[in-house]
Amino acid sequence: MKLFMFLLLLGVHGTAAVMHSWKAFYTGSTGLSEFPEFVALNLLDDEVMGYFDSTTNRFESRQSWMKENLGQEYDERQTNILQGNAQSFKANVKIAMERFNQSKGVHLYQNMYGCEWDDETDEVNGYYQDGYDGEDFVSFDRKTETWTAPTQQAVITKHKWDNNKGWIAQVKNYLTQECPDWVKKYVNYGRSSLMRKDLPSVSLLQKTSSSPVTCHATGFYPDRADLFWRKDGEELHEDVDKGEILPNHDGTFQMSVDLKISSIADEDWKKYDCVFQLSGVKDINTKLDKSVIRSNEVNPLAMIIPIVVAVVVLSVIAVVGFIVYKKKKDKRPPSPVENREVQEEMLPQA
- For residue range 37-82, list pLDDT tens digits in order: 999 999 998 888 999 999 999 999 998 899 899 999 999 999 999 9
Residue 173 inside a domain? The answer is yes
Residues 53 and 151 in one domain: yes
Residues 117 and 29 in one domain: yes
CB 18 within 8 A of CB 120: yes
- Please list, in sequence order, all residues whose beta carbon lies within 8 angstroms of the beta carbon of residue 101, skipping any fewer than 6 positions away: none
Of 194, 213, 245, the one marking the end of a domain is 194
| N- to C-terminal Cα separation, the chain | 80
As for how many domains the chain has, the answer is 3
Q: Which domain holds residue 151?
A: 6-194
Residues 184 and 218 in one domain: no
CATH code at 167? Answer: 3.30.500.10
Provide the pLDDT for residue 46: 83
Q: Is the pLDDT of residue 217 over 90?
A: yes
Residue 1 inside a domain? The answer is no
Q: Is the pLDDT of residue 15 over 60?
A: no
Under the banding of pLDDT at 50, 70 and 90, the label for residue 99 is very high
Residues 71 and 122 in one domain: yes
Provide the pLDDT for residue 320: 44
- For residue range 100-154, list pLDDT tens digits in order: 999 999 999 999 999 999 888 899 999 999 999 999 999 999 999 999 999 999 9
Q: Is the pLDDT of residue 350 over 50?
A: no
pTM: 0.61
Residue 301 inside a domain? The answer is no
Tell me the mean pLDDT in the region 201-224: 93
Q: Is the pLDDT of residue 332 over 90?
A: no
CATH code at 214? Answer: 2.60.40.10
Residues 108 and 38 in one domain: yes
Residue 300 inside a domain? The answer is no
Residue 328 inside a domain? The answer is yes
Q: Among residues 272, 240, 239, which one has the least CA distance to residue 256?
A: 240
Tell me the mean pLDDT in the region 242-246: 94
Residue 303 inside a domain? The answer is no
Report the 10 Å Cβ neighbour count for 115.
23
Which 3 state secondary structure label does DSSP give 50?
strand
Cis bond leading into 222, ω under 30°? yes
Provide the pLDDT for residue 280: 78
